[in-house]
Amino acid sequence: MNRILIRNLGRIGGISEESLLQRSGEHLSNWPALRDAWLLIEGSTIIGWGTMTDEPRQPPNTAVWDAKGAWVIPAFVDPHTHLVHSGTREHEWKARLQGASYQEIAASGGGIMHSVRALRSIEFAALIDESRLRLETMRTMGVGSVEIKSGYGLDFESESKMMRTTRTLASEYPDMNIRSTCLALHAIPPEFRGDMDSYVKKVTQEWIPIWAGEGLIDFIDIFCEQGYFGLVHLDALLACGHRLGLGVRAHVNQFTVMGAVRRAVEGGALSVDHLEELDSDDLDALKHGATFPILLPGCSFFLGIPYAPGRLLADSGVPVVVGSDYNPGSAPGLNPFFTLSLSCLKLGLMPEEALNAMTINAAASLQLSDRTGSVGIGKEASLVFISGLNDWSTLPYHFGQIPPIRVMLKGRFI
Ligand SMILES: [Zn+2]
C-alpha cells in the first residue's frame, strides 16, 4: 500500500484519540496540537505521527513531502448544504438590496419555488455537471465530507433526480464522504397547495420508503416554520425515521419559535438546524437531549437576520456544530474559512471552538466522527495544509483570506 511521510509540519491541530467522537462543554475549546511534527499515512489512513526530534527512518516504498513549516488541520465537514440545485437567484438578491424581504419574495412566487421550477426542468446530466462544479470548489477549499439535501424537486421524479445526483457525485468522488438527505418536506409543492397533510402522508408513507429501499437516503429532513410544516408533520417524519431506521434532521427556529426544538429532541432527532430564534425551553431541551444543534451563520449573514446564540449554546454544554447552509437563496457561499470567521465574529465562538464545531462535531452530526473530522490513528487522512499561521486564531482573523496550500483527501493530494 502507498505510504507517505509528511515532514516538518509547523503544527498538527485537531488531534483526538480514537474513542473521542465529539467535543462539548469545557472540551469544546480543546484543540490538541503538536509542534514541529511528522505524519505518516498508509493508503487512505493516518498510521502515525510524532515530533521531528523522533522522526522515523524513512521506510521503504514511502513518498516524502517536506511541508516546510505548514500547519495541518483535519479536512472540514460541512453538515448542512443544498449543494445540488439548478441555477442561481441573483435577481432576488438585488430585490432584497432594494428592500424586499425573503418572505415577500417567497410570497410572490420566488424563493424556494423559483429553484423548484428550475430543478424540475433541468436534465439529470446537466444537474450533475452543475453540482460537480460546486463540489470541486468545495474540495479545493478543504471540505472532505459534506451532507447534501434534496428539496427543490417536491415531486417523486424530481426529488429522485436530486438524490441520484448526490449518489452519482459520491461515486465520482470516493475520496470524500457524501451523505444524502431527503428534504422532500422543504416546501408545499403547487400540486398539494392547501393540502399539506396529504403531501406529508405521501412523502412519509409512500415516497421515503421507496427511496430508502433504493439506497438513496442516509437521513430525512423537514422545514418547520410558520406557513410551512408544523409540529404534527415533524412528528410524522420522526415516526417515519423510527420505522425505517433513518436519522432525522430538522430545519427549525429560523424565523419562529414554535416548540419544534423540544419536539425534535424528545423524538430522537439527530440534529436541529438553524436556531436563529431560541427560547429557554428550546435550550433546556437541547441541554437534556442528544440532538446536535447545527448553526448556519452564512445564512444570517446573507439574509441579515439574527445569528443563532452560539456562545450561549457552547456555554450550555451542548456539542455545537457549524455548517454553511450552502444554497442559492439564503447562503450562496461555501467557503469554510469564511464560515469559521463568522462563527467567531457572530456566533461568539473562540477559534478553537469554531474549529471543533466544523470538524469533529460536524462529523459526529453526520455519524462520521469515528473515521473523519480529527487527526487520529486509524482516521482518514483527509487534511488541509495552510501556511502563514502564527496562531490558530490567524485562520478566522484573516476572514476568508487564507487558501489552503494543499488538500489531501483519504491519503491523496487533490
Ligand atoms: Zn437548509
Q: Could you write out the three-class secondary structure of 209-255?
A: HHHHHCCCCCEEEEEECCCCECHHHHHHHHHHHHHHCCEEEEEECCC
**Alpha carbons 391 and 379: distance in angstroms, whole number:** 25
* pLDDT: which is higher, 59 or 338: 338
> Are residues 175 and 43 both part of a single domain?
no
> Are residues 167 and 289 both part of a single domain?
yes
* CATH value at residue 384: 2.30.40.10
Predicted confidence (pLDDT) per residue in 106-120, tens digit: 788 788 889 999 999
What's the whole-number mean pLDDT along residues 164-173?
Answer: 98
Predicted confidence (pLDDT) per residue in 206-255, tens digit: 999 999 999 999 999 999 998 899 999 999 999 999 999 999 999 999 98
User: Measured in angstroms, how far is the CA atom of residue 251 from the centroid of ligand 1?
Assistant: 6
> Are residues 45 and 155 both part of a single domain?
no
User: Measured in angstroms, how far is the CA atom of residue 221 from the centroid of ligand 1?
Assistant: 9
> Are residues 51 and 83 both part of a single domain?
no
Total number of domains in the chain: 2
Predicted confidence (pLDDT) per residue in 28-60, tens digit: 999 999 999 999 999 999 999 999 999 888 778
pTM value? Answer: 0.96
**Domain presence at residue 49:** yes
SS3 363: helix
On the question of pLDDT at 101 being above 90, the answer is: no
Q: At what angle do helices 156-172 and 124-140 cross, to 10 degrees?
A: 40
What's the whole-number mean pLDDT along residues 295-322?
Answer: 96
Tell me if 142 sits within 8 A of 76, measured CB to CB: yes
Domain boundary (326, 345, 365) is at 365
> Are residues 42 and 92 both part of a single domain?
no
**Alpha carbons 259 and 90: distance in angstroms, whole number:** 33
CA 10, chain centre distance (Å): 28
User: Measured in angstroms, how far is the CA atom of residue 219 from the centroid of ligand 1?
Assistant: 13
Domain of residue 396, residue span: 3-73+375-413
SS3 181: strand
User: Measured in angstroms, how far is the CA atom of residue 241 from the centroid of ligand 1?
Assistant: 19
> Are residues 216 and 296 both part of a single domain?
yes
> Are residues 88 and 171 both part of a single domain?
yes
User: Measured in angstroms, how far is the CA atom of residue 274 from the centroid of ligand 1?
Assistant: 8
In sign, the C-alpha dihedral spanning 292, 297, 299, 303 is: positive
What's the whole-number mean pLDDT along residues 163-178?
Answer: 98
**Domain presence at residue 329:** yes
**Domain presence at residue 96:** yes
Predicted confidence (pLDDT) per residue in 279-303, tens digit: 999 999 999 999 999 999 999 999 9
On the question of pLDDT at 268 being above 80, the answer is: yes
> Are residues 381 and 404 both part of a single domain?
yes
User: Measured in angstroms, how far is the CA atom of residue 24 from the centroid of ligand 1?
Assistant: 23
**Alpha carbons 322 and 84: distance in angstroms, whole number:** 20
- Bridge partners of 100, per DSSP, are none
What's the whole-number mean pLDDT along residues 71-75?
Answer: 98
User: Measured in angstroms, how far is the CA atom of residue 298 from the centroid of ligand 1?
Assistant: 11
Helix ranges restricted to H, 252-366 = 260-266, 280-288, 297-303, 310-315, 336-345, 351-358, 360-365
User: Measured in angstroms, how far is the CA atom of residue 82 from the centroid of ligand 1?
Assistant: 6
pLDDT of residue 59: 76
> Are residues 342 and 203 both part of a single domain?
yes
Q: What is the dihedral of CA 354, 355, 356, 361, to 10 degrees?
A: 90
All three cell numbers of 106, joined, read 417567497
> Are residues 105 and 250 both part of a single domain?
yes
Q: At what angle do helices 351-358 and 336-345 cross, to 10 degrees?
A: 130
**Domain presence at residue 285:** yes
pLDDT of residue 111: 85
- Report the relative pairing of strands 292-295 and 271-274 from DSSP bridges: parallel
User: Measured in angstroms, how far is the CA atom of residue 378 from the centroid of ligand 1?
Assistant: 32
**Domain presence at residue 25:** yes
**Domain presence at residue 370:** no
**Domain presence at residue 88:** yes
* CATH value at residue 331: 3.20.20.140
pLDDT of residue 107: 80
On the question of pLDDT at 403 being above 90, the answer is: no
User: Measured in angstroms, how far is the CA atom of residue 325 from the centroid of ligand 1?
Assistant: 5
User: Measured in angstroms, how far is the CA atom of residue 64 from the centroid of ligand 1?
Assistant: 41
**Domain presence at residue 211:** yes
What's the whole-number mean pLDDT along residues 156-175?
Answer: 98
Predicted confidence (pLDDT) per residue in 345-362, tens digit: 999 999 999 999 999 999
Among 148, 118, 113, smallest CA distance to 134 is for 148
Among 366, 413, 342, 398, smallest CA distance to 4 is for 413
> Are residues 65 and 109 both part of a single domain?
no
pLDDT over 90 percentage in the chain: 89
User: Measured in angstroms, how far is the CA atom of residue 360 from the centroid of ligand 1?
Assistant: 20
- Give the type of residue at 339: T
> Are residues 22 and 7 both part of a single domain?
yes
In sign, the C-alpha dihedral spanning 185, 79, 3, 17 is: negative
Domain boundary (345, 365, 385) is at 365
* Gyration radius of the chain over CA positions: 21
User: Measured in angstroms, how far is the CA atom of residue 182 from the centroid of ligand 1?
Assistant: 12
